[in-house]
Structure 1
Amino acid sequence: MAGTAQGRWTLEHDGRLLEADAPPPRLTGGGRELRLYVDGDLVATKATSSKKAKLTHEDLTVRATWDWRGELSNCALVPARTEADIKDAKDLKELIDKSGETWFTPPEGSRAARRERLARRHPRLYASRHVALAAARVLLPLLGIAALIKIPKPHIDLPDIDLPGIPRPRIPWPDIDLPSIPLPDLPDVTLPGWLQAIVQTAKYWGPILAAVGLAVQEHERRKKQRQKAAERAAAKEAEKAEKAVKAGEPETAQQRETGEEPETGTGAERPGKAAGRG
C-alpha cells in the first residue's frame, strides 16, 4: 500500500488507501478544488466555487466541506445508494442525517485534527457548542436593545424647512361594482393563556430547542464514526494475524502473553521437556 502524503485526509477502504486534499484558494484563482487519490495516484478532481463539493470516481463518492478560511473542515466517503437500497426507515434516516458516511482522518497538525481531538476527548461539550451559539444569538440582541434603551439620546433641534407643494395629477379611475359575497361567520377561538405565552416566546426558545436536537444528532453521528473506526482497526489486526499464520508464524497474542509454545505439527518434542519427563 502506498505511503501517505503530508497534508492529505486519509481513509483505508476495501484494502485501498484513499486520500483527499484541497490546495489553498490562492493557488486556484480564488476557487476551490477537491482532489482524490487512490493508493497514491491522483484519480479525480472537482472544482467548485461553493463551500461544499461532491466528487465521484467509479464506485467511490467523496463529500467535502470547506470552512471560512478556505481549508477543508470535513471529508467523508458517501455510501453508494439508490432508491432500491432504501428498504426501511433506518436506511432513510441514514440517508438524511448522513450517519452512513465514513469520515476521513484529517492530517496531523491541521485545525480539523485539533477539532477532532477535542471532540473525542469531550464529545458532549463539543456537541453542545450548537446550543451555546443559539443562546448567544437570542441573548445578544436582547442585551443590545436593553443597552440602547438605557443610553440617553441627545436632543437635536432640526431646522423647519417649508417645502413647496407639488400638484399631483388626478387620474379618473373607473368605478367598478364588485359583487358582495356573503362569508360565513367564523367562530371566535381564544387560545389559553399558557399556550399564547408559548407561541409568543417561540422565537426565543425555538432556536435553542433546534440547537439541542442538532447537538444530539452530531453526538450520535460521531459515536457511530468512532465505532466504525474501531471495527476497521479490529479488522486490520485480524488480517495481519491471518497473514502471519499463512507465513508460518502461528503464534497468537495469548500465546505470547502466557509463554506457551506454538504447536509445530511435527510431533517432535523439545529436548528440555523430554529430558524433564524422563
Structure 2
Amino acid sequence: MSSKHDTLTYNTSYSRSKSATIEEWIALQDAWKEQLMLEPEVLCSAVDLESLLETFPLLGGVDITPDREHENVAYVGIAVLSSRTLELKYCQTYRANLEVPYIPGFLGFREAPALINAVECLKKEKPQYFPHVLFVDGNGILHPRGFGSACQVGLFLDLPTIGVAKSFLNVDGLNSLQVKDQLYQQENRWLPLVGSSNRLLGAALLSNGSVKRPIFVSVGYRIKLLEAVNLVFHACRYRVPEPIRIADHISREAARQALCRMQES
C-alpha cells in the first residue's frame, strides 16, 4: 500500500475553458450521453455476486476535496481495494488545479478532468492496481440531462463507473422527501428511482442495517444498475462504499495538511 501527494494539471481537453457557455456544455453533455449505450434493464432479474467479484476483482474509488484557501485548487483521493476482502491495496492523493467554475448541473466540467487524470496517473505508475470498476462520488445518469460526473469519468477512461451520491438531486419529477418516504416505508433496503418519464434513473439505498440516511446510486458507464447496487451493498461497511470512503478521507487529510503548512509559513 502506498500514499503520496503529487500535483495534477487540469486538462481542459476533457471539457471547456472558463469562457465556454452553458449552451456549449449542454450540447457536449447531450452528445456524450449518446455514447453511453444504455441497455434496458429488468429489475426482477437476479445478480450473481460471485460472478461480479470475478469480473471486477479490484474496486476503485475517487473523491475530491476543495482547498480551503484557494478556490481553484483541490485534492483528489484515489483508493483501490480487493473486491472480495475489501482490503486496501493502494491509495494516493493529488493536488489538482481546477480552471472551470462550479455551476449546478455541470460539476463534471469542473471536477471530472482532475479525477480522470488521477486514474490515468495510477494506470501509468502502478498498472497492477488499476481498478476494474470505479466508484465516483457523484451522480451518473441520475442527473437533469442524464450525464453526471460519473458518466464523464467513465466515458473518457473507457472504464465501468458507478455514481454514488450522498445527497439527492431532484430530477424528472422525483424529489428527496418523496424518495426517502417510499424507501423508509418498504421492507427492502433499496428503492428503484423511476422518473415521471418512466425511465429508470438509479436507486436509493440504505447501505447497511444501522444506516438512517440513504445514498443514491446510478449507472455511470458500462455497468447495469443491478450490478452497481449489488457491488455498492457489498462494498459498504459504513454508509458509503469503502473505496469512496477512503478516497474521501485521504483527500480531506491532504487538504488539512496543506492548510496547516500554509498557516505555519
TM range (shorter): under 0.3
Structure showing greater Rg: 1
* RCO higher in structure (CA 8 A, sep ≥6): 2
Instruction: Give the number of the structure whose residues are more often helix, by fraction.
Output: 1
User: Under a length normalisation based on structure 2, what TM-score does the superposition of the two structures give?
Assistant: 0.27
User: Under a length normalisation based on structure 1, what TM-score does the superposition of the two structures give?
Assistant: 0.26
Instruction: Give the number of the structure whose residues are more often strand, by fraction.
Output: 2
